[in-house]
Structure 1
Amino acid sequence: MKDQLFAVVDVETTGGGMSGNRLTEICIVLLKGNKVLDKYTSLINPEKPIPSYITALTGIDNALVANAPRFHEVAKDIELMTRDAIFVAHNVNFDYNVLRNEFRELGFEFTRRKLCTVRLSRKLIPGLFSYSLGRLCDSINIPITSRHRAEGDTDATVILFQRLLGLDTNFEVMRSFLHARSREATLPPHLEAEQIFDLPDDPGIYLFKDNKHKVIYAGKAINIKKRVISHFYDKGTKEYKLGQETYHIDYETTGNELIALLLEAEKIKKHYPKFNRAQKRPGTVYQIISYTNQKGVIQLALGTTRTLNNSVGTFYNRLRAAEKLEQLCEDFNLCPRFCTLQSNVEVCSHYSIQNCEGVCEGKESISSYNKKVLAAIASLGEENSTYIIREKGRHFKEEAFVYIKEGRYMGYGFIDTDVSIATVEDLDPFLRIKEATYHTNKILSSYLRNGAHKNIVILEQPAASSSLKKVSGNWTDGLFALQ
C-alpha cells in the first residue's frame, strides 16, 4: 500500500442532525503512502443560518461564510481530489456521510472506501483513556492547533495517520479493515469489532452502554447479531448518535420472541435508556368500572387510567373495551342507559341492544337487575384464568414458560426437557418472578390475540394441589406432565 492514495478529510458543519447537516468548511490532505502530495481547504456557504452554539465551538459564523463558495461550486474539486483515494477521517462515518449527503443533494452518488483513525488507533494503540482527537493527540504528543477548524484538525489527523501507517508495517490491519466482507468501516468508533462478531444469532435482548457502562438503549430481536448490526447501517440522526455513544454491548438470549419482548419492557422500565422512545411511559388503560348510583342501581361504565387498578375489566384498546361492555349488556339483558352506552335519556333506546327488561322504566326491580349486573361482573372475573404459556427454550434440550396467575403476569422461566412438571409448585424453582406493568400486560394481550392459544396450559387449582390441564394442541412428552 506504499503507492496507495489516501484523502485525509475533516469537515465543519451547521449541526442539526445528519439529514439537515450542511458543510461550513472542508479540508482535504492527499497522501501517497505516508507522503503528502496536496492540500485543499475552503470555507463553504451552507445556505442556512449557523446556530450560535456551532459558532461558539468553531468560530465560524454567518458573516465569515457569507461570500464563501456554495457546495455545488466546490463539488468538482472535492470529487477529483478524493477520486481513487481511500477516504480517511477521525470518526470517518460523520465526515463521509455529510459529504455523501451534499453530493446527493446535487443528484450524484459519492462512494469511496474508507478508514477510521479512531478504530485504527484503538487497534494499533490500545489502552488509551480516550480516543477523541484532542485527547489522543495529547497522549501521543501530536501538535494540534486551531481545534474544531477543518485545517487544524486535518493536519493533526494526517500526523496521526502517518504514525498508524508506521505501526502497521505490513498493512495487515489496514487491509483487514478494507476487506469487502469487513464491517469495520460501518461500526461505531468506540466499539470493539469482537463485541459484534461474538453476538449470537438467537432471539433475545441487547443493551447498548456508554463509556460508563450506563444503558443508553435496550432492544429485542429474533436474531441479536443481525439486529444490532442493522443499527449501524441506518444513517438516521438517532442511530448515528446512538453509535457515537456506544462503547459496550451486552445481551441475553431468551429462545423466543415473547420472553424477549417481556424482558425488553423490563429493561426499559429499569434503566429508562435515553435512546428508547417507546415504553417509557404507560399508555392509557381502559377499564370497565362499576358503581352504585343514587337509585341503588349498579352501573357499568368505561373509564381511563394510566395505572393498573383493580376494576371489573382492563383493556389496552378503547374499541375492545367498548365492544366488551356492549357484549355484557346484550348477554345479560342489561340496560344500555345504566351501562353508559346511552346518555341524557330517561328510557333506553339503543340502536342495536333491545333486550333491556325495563329497569329504566320501573318494570324490573332494582334488586333483580343488580343480580344480573353482578353475574356479568363475575363472568369477567372467570376470564382471568391461571395458566402457563409454553415456548421454545434457549437450546433444544430446554423449554420456556410464562406464568400468569388469575390474569396477572407473574414471570417466566426455563426448564430442561427431561424435568417432569405435574403441579404448579413444581414450577417454583424455575420461575423468575417479575413485575406486571402496563407494557407486559399489553404484550401478553397482543400475544394471545394473535392465535397463540395452542401454547397455553390452563392450571386447575383444587384444594389439595394444583395440576396442569391441556387446553388444545398436541403436546410432546417432556416439559409438562399434563394431567
Structure 2
Amino acid sequence: MNPVLARERFVFVDLETSGANFANDRIIEIGLVEVDSHGAREWSALVNPEAPVSSFITGLTGIDDSMLRSAPTFAQVAPSLLDKLRGKLLIAHNARFDYGFLRGEFKRLGIEFRAPTLCTVKLSRKLFPQHHRHNLDTLVTRHGLAVAGSRHRALADARLLWDLWRCWHGQVPVETIRSAVANIVGRPELPAQIDAEVIDDLPEAAGAYAFYGEGERLLLLRRATNIRRQVLAHFTAAKRETPLLRDLRRVDWRDAAGELGARLHEIGLARSAARAGPEEGEQQPGGSSRTAHSELCSWQLRAQESGDFPPQLVLAQDLDFAVADDLFGLYPSPREALRSLRKLADAHRLCYKLLGLDDRAKAGPCAAYRQKSCRGVCIGRETLALHGARVLIALAKFKLRPWPYKGPLVLLERDEFGMREDVHLVDRWRLVATVHSEEALQERLANGPTRQPFDPDIYRVIGRCLHAGKIGIRPLPPFSL
C-alpha cells in the first residue's frame, strides 16, 4: 500500500436507506472499504429495517422486501460494524447523510457513536472549485471512473469513493489534498476546559447554540444556518485569548430543519438560561430575564358611546393575549408600556388626559396641550370621536393578531436536503411541541392543549412565518376537552 494513500486509517462508507428522513427511515444496506497500511478490505451487509421498503427505493437500489426479510437487523450487525468504524476517518459522499444515519441507528441501541468525517462533496469543491456540480455520477463521468457493480448499491458506491480518492491523488499534489482535508476535518484547538468530543457531536444543520461559563452563566447565544461551521469559527487562533473563550465552560445546541426551528430553539435556550441564570431582572445575552413575562402587558382599547377609546393596561397573566381582539402592543412591564404610550402621544399630538397619562379629573388642559403637543380635545377644541379615530390610527400597526384558526396548527419544515422534517405543533401562538413523526404528533395531541403562558417572542416568530408563507401548514381540529 502506497503510504501516501494510507497515511492514516480510514474507511469509505456508503449506505442505502429506506428514505431520507433521519427520524423515520432506516438503513437497508451498508458498504465499507477499509484502508490502512496493510491494504484495502471490503465488507457489506444487507440490513433488515423491520418495515416494508417503498417501491421507489426498490426501483432506485434494486433492494426489495424479499431480500431483506432474512437479513440481520442493525442490532445484529452493530458489534462488527462498530469494530470496523472505530478509530478511523469516515469518508462518505455527503457525509452528513451517512454519519447521521449511523449515529441514529447506534443511538437506538443506546450507543453513542462518534467519528471524524470527511465529505467527498466538500473535498471535490475545494480541489476543483472551477466545477459547479459535484454529485457522484458527475464525478464518475468527469474522472472517467468505472462502476464495478450497480450504482446505488452500498459496496459499489463505497468502491467508487476509494477509486475517486486514488484518482485525485494522481491528479492533485499530495500536500494540496492534505491541506484541504485538514481544513474540512481538522479540529481547532479548544480551551483546555472543553471536552474535545464536543466537536464530533456538532451537527452540520440549522439551529441555535449557546456558550456557558461558570455557574451556567450564559456567555453567548446565537442562531445558525450551520451550527458546526459557526461554532468552530469561534475557536480560530485569532480568537483564542478572548474573554469569551477564557470564560467558556460548556457548549450546548439545538439543531433544526430550518430557520423557523432555529429561531424557536434560540428562544428556548434563552428562556432556559433566564430561569437558571442571573438574579431577578438582570438581562441575559439572549435578551431575556427571569421577570420577562411576569409583567407582560398590552393596551386594550374598547369604544365608548362618546367615540372615545381610553386605553386600559392589561396583564398577560390575567387575559389570554392570543384570543383577545382589541389589544395593541406587547410590553415587558407597565413602566415600558407607559413610556411607549407617552412617546406615541407626543408623535401624534394625542391628549394625555384621554390616554390616562394625566389626571382626567383635574380642570383645564392636559400637560401635552400646555407643551403644544395636544390638539385640545381636553378643552373642547377637538371632538372625542376625531381624537378616538386618531388614537386608533396611531396604534394600528401595534395591533395584536388573534389566533386565526379554530384549533391547533402544524407547521411542516424540511431541511434543504430532504433528510429531516420538523413538525411544529402550534396552538394559540404557543409552541406546543416539535416532533418528527405522525405517531409522535398524535401522541402529543392526545395530551390536550398546552398550559404554557403566552410568549411574545414565539408570537412574533410564528406570526412572521405564517405571513411569509414559505413552509407547509396543516390546520387541525380543536382539542377535545
Superposed pair shares fold, TM > 0.5 = no
The two structures have a TM-score, normalised by structure 2, of 0.44
Using CA pairs under 8 Å that are at least 6 residues apart, name the structure with larger relative contact order, 1 or 2. Answer: 2
